[in-house]
Structure 1
Amino acid sequence: MGLLTEDIAFHSNIPVPLDITVAVIYSVFGICSLFGNSTLLYISYKKKHLLKPAEYFIINLAVSDLGLTLSLYPMAITSSFYHRWLYGKTVCSIYAFCGMLFGICSLTTLTLLSVVCCVKVCYPLYGNRFNSVHGCLLIACAWVYALLFACSPLAHWGEYGPEPYGTACCIDWRLSNEHTTARSYTVALFIFCYILPCCVILASYTGILVTVQASRKTMEQHSSRQTHMSSIQIIIVKLSVAVCIGFFAAWSPYAVVSMWAAFGHVENIPPLAFAMPAMFAKSSTIYNPIIYLTLRPNFRRIMCRDIGTLCHACLRGCLCQRCSTKCSSKQKIRVRLRTVHRQTNRFPSANSSAQPPPVAFKDHDCEKCKDAFECFSHYPQMCGVTNLATSGDLSKDQHTPVSQIQKLEAEALHAKAKRTSETDNFHINLEMVPGQAKVAWP
């Protein structure tokens, strides 16, 4: 009977099309979160020597959001596709623990970041004393704070269990509706992990905006400084509004539903009313990378530069791979052409107009073909094939003794058959090169 009850609890209570829709949305969120937070960590690593102590909170925010993405999204996506929770009761508790730990850590980090920014802007005398040691201590406090609330259900102050919609796990909302101890844990979460962070974030960013506005009015008489202060003010306003909107949009629905489940009739709450707030809460992992990558000029500048460099390197690598293949084929052509050149110099003839024009070759390394477009647009110079004028050689032959010329002509007639075959091969290979060069064009 226990197995039957557990199986029913882990079966989805929303229609199959909605489950598939949730799975698709989670997949999009997961990809965006993975890319955004990884990019944020990469940019922070690139400018690690220039990081300010306040930016440590942005790194910690990316780490906690990335942990939330990797620990929750794969199981939530697969369970939604299969229309039931697939991983059993033990993994359900681990899933809920990870969601609580990383989620509260992200909330606390956002709150501490707003406080630090407020102190640095509104009270610069104290804010300038803020260093990396203080930042690391506050980040450690954020993790301890999150760990305290995440471990409480494991110590039976509250309980972890399946969500009412069946394909994910979190706090056991039915138990919080029935038992006072579990309800007190839900109330503590609502106060210390939602109400308190909301008040601190609103107060901090309001103080920042008031201070910046007062500074702008002070600088109005200086036209050169006014433009600079206006740009700073625009950035701060955008960051403040975006962080507040992202925070409220992600966590407000879940907070409302948790109070509804704790003090209302949980049987009357539709399962979809739990599924939608959970979706909004998981979307918090994509808000913060978007906010800090698009609104902070230094992060945006490094991201645009490095992504452009990466795309150029990938394109260049593909083109160079094709170029190396073409250069190897042209190196074979060069060997045959050198054979013709040596035989032509060995048997000069006075009747040079009847022969193909002499060809000289530079000892040009094909490794210089770094770009396929440049290599073939300047062919034949890029791979060492150049035509020389024959007027200088003819002027030298005019001073050659007559007997020597006749002797050389006799020898040239004797080797004519061999030269003809090599010359034909020479013409065929040169005609093949432009056709092969077209392959390198994408």
Structure 2
Amino acid sequence: MRGLRPMDLPEDFWIPVPLDTNNITALSPYLVPQDHLGGLGLFYSMSAFMFFLFVAGTAINTITIACTVQYKKLRSHLNYILVNLAVANLLVSSVGSFTCFYCFAFRYMILGPLGCKIEGFTATVGGMVSLWSLAVVAFERWLVVCKPLGNFIFKPHHAIACCALTWVFALMAAIPPLVGWSRYIPEGLQCSCGPDWYTTNNKFNNESYVMFLFCFCFSVPFCTIIFCYSQLLFILKSAAKAQAESASTQKAEREVTRMVVVMVLGFLVCWMPYASFALWVINNRGQMFDLRLATIPSCLSKASTVYNPVIYILLNKQFRSCIRKMLGMGDGEDEDSSSSQSVTEVSKVGPS
């Protein structure tokens, strides 16, 4: 679908309709249901999906934070980063997913331009913190296991500083659209909001903002994750080869390899569609595309509030043990000891 010419664009939204539309206000995503973009079943299905993300994401991330507060043994440097990830996910699920659930139920951005800016800003902040936290987790694993700095010890205050840095980077990405560099507008089916990928309006410099996000907020974390985990796998495979008769080392190598693959795939599922879609749009101005497909990247990024905790937290035996204990589902002693043994085996692997 084509949109309006840049000089015809309203300040707070973009209408994906033919150029000969006479009354764009009649189709405003802030005023009327966007039934011209899809059927009732599509909107209500999206509303149900967003409600699931809101409930599941809010619950699992709240439990993760509460569990860390309750159990002191979880307050390690790695777990601080995982809790930072949980806080970011909670922000996205409680504000972003809930807003989308509510608006999809009415089939338009019923909360108005201010609600759109709030949803777009919070989703961007939470998403960027989550993305950078994944990079920090990879960086921490690289420092601890591969020991590139020799005897340097990654301590809790280092983890806290890295967590603070993720919020600084996130605000650097989320604030510009509020002050004129790009803008937050309804996207896809017009019931969720995000940065303006669609227009070439020079007033907002959208293309430069999209390139900034792609280079600084996607490429840098992605390259960090790939580099750190590839180095980690190389070290583990070398150790496993040198200790071919050690069953524990071989098991640790297999477990870490499996988790690394899952982590990288999870990252790509979260962010590759958004990055690819934005780049395609700015490099194919005037090309027609289905707005329903444009909703998919937003949904996948919000779904990360559920599957990121599953990958990074529920697959962490120590976290899982404490969560089970907090919920009265068992004391988790066996998993604690198993976790400690596994961590010991992996931590021993290094250049030495």
TM-score, with length taken from structure 2? 0.81
> SS at 1:173's partner residue?
coil
In 1, distance between residues paired with 2:92 and 2:151?
Answer: 31
**Is contact 2:47-2:102 (8 Å) kept?**
yes
- SS in structure 1 of the partner of residue 205 of structure 2: helix
Q: How far apart are the structure 2 equivalents of 1:180 and 1:93?
A: 15
Q: Which residue of 1 aligns with 2:86?
A: 62
Choose which of 232, 257, 275 in structure 1 pairs with 2:277: 257
In the superposition, relative to structure 1, how do residues 140 and 60 fare at CA in structure 2: closer, same or farther (>3 Å)? same
1:29 equivalent to 2:56? Answer: no
Secondary structure (helix, strand or coil) at the match of 1:265 reads: coil
Query: For the structure 1 residues 305 and 238, does the alpha-carbon distance in structure 2 shift closer, same or farther, using more than 3 Å as the test?
Result: farther
For the pair 1:143 / 2:167, whether they are aligned, the reply is yes
The residue number in structure 1 matching 2:260 is 240
Instruction: State yes or no: 1:272 paired with 2:276.
Output: no
Alignment partner of 1:9 is 2:33: no
Measured against aligned partners, the alpha-carbon deviations of 1:353-378 in whole angstroms (never above 9, x if no partner) come to xxxxxxxxxxxxxxxxxxxxxxxxxx
User: Matched residues in 2 for 1:127 and 1:35: separation?
Assistant: 39
Distance 2:201 2:226 in 1: 31
Greater Cα offset, 90-99 or 260-269 = 260-269
Return the structure number with greater helix share.
1
Which letter does structure 2 place at the counterpart of 1:199?
C
User: What are the within-5 Å matches in structure 2 for residues 13-92 of structure 1?
Assistant: 13-92=37-116
> 1:297 aligns to what?
317
Point out where structure 1 has 5 or more consecutive residues left out of the alignment. 311-442
| Post-superposition offset of 1:309 | 4.3
Assess if the C-alpha contact under 8 Å between 1:33 and 1:69 holds in 2: yes
Superposition RMSD in Å: 2.4
The C-alpha deviation readout for 1:242-280, integer Å capped at 9, x for no partner, is: 211111011111111111221213561211121111111
> Deviation at 1:218?
2.1
**For each residue in 1:62-110, what CA deviation from the matched residue of structure 2 results, as whole angstroms up to 9, or x when unmatched?**
0000011111112101111111111011111111111111111110111
CA separation of 1:300/1:266 partners in 2, compared to 1, >3 Å: closer, same or farther? farther
Displacement of 1:50? 4.5
Query: How much does 1:176 deviate?
Result: 4.1
SS of 2:185's equivalent?
strand
Please give the residue correspondences for 1:2-401 in structure 2 after superposition, counting only pairs within 5 Å. Answer: 5=24, 8-10=27-29, 11-12=33-34, 13-123=37-147, 126=150, 128-176=152-200, 181-221=205-245, 226-265=246-285, 268-309=288-329
Structure 2 CA distance for aligned equivalents of residues 87 and 180 of structure 1: 23
Q: Is this contact kept in 2: 1:173–1:258, CA < 8 A?
A: yes
Q: Is the 8 A contact 2:129 2:169 kept in 1?
A: yes
Give the partner amino acid of 1:42: A
Q: Distance in 2 between matches of 1:202 and 1:237?
A: 13
Contact 1:177 1:264 (C-alpha < 8 Å) held by counterparts: no
Contact 1:120 1:126 in 2 (8 A): no
Q: d(CA) in 1 for partners of 2:45 and 2:260?
A: 32
* Bigger radius of gyration among the two: 1
User: CA shift at 1:178, angstroms?
Assistant: 6.2
User: What CA distance in whole angstroms lies between the structure 1 residues aligned with 2:291 and 2:225?
Assistant: 31
Q: Paired residues, what number? A: 307
Contact 2:273–2:297 (8 Å) recurs in 1: yes
Deviations 1:89-146 (A, max 9, x none): 1111111111111111110111111011111111175464211111111111110011
SS of corresponding position for 1:268: coil
Q: 1:47 to 1:230 in 2, by over 3 A?
A: farther
Contact 1:216 1:230 in 2 (8 A): yes
Contact 1:64 1:103 in 2 (8 A): yes
Higher relative contact order (CA 8 A, sep 6+): 2
Instruction: Report the Cα offset of residue 154 of structure 1.
Output: 1.5
Q: In 2 relative to 1, CA 6–111 (structure 1 residues): closer, same or farther, beyond 3 Å? A: farther
Deviates more, 1:59-68 or 1:163-172: 163-172
CA distance in 1, matches of 2:96, 2:153: 38
The one-letter amino acid paired with 1:300 is R
| Partner Cα separation in structure 1 for residue 304 and residue 25 of structure 2 | 30
Moved more, 233-242 or 5-14: 5-14
User: Which deviates the most, 83-92 or 159-168?
Assistant: 159-168
Q: Give the letter for the 1:8 counterpart.
A: L
Q: Say which is worse superposed, 81-90 or 57-66, in terms of deviation.
A: 81-90
Identify which range, 297-306 or 76-85, moves more after superposition. 297-306
Query: What is the alpha-carbon distance in structure 2 between the residues aligned to residue 67 and residue 16 of structure 1?
Result: 28
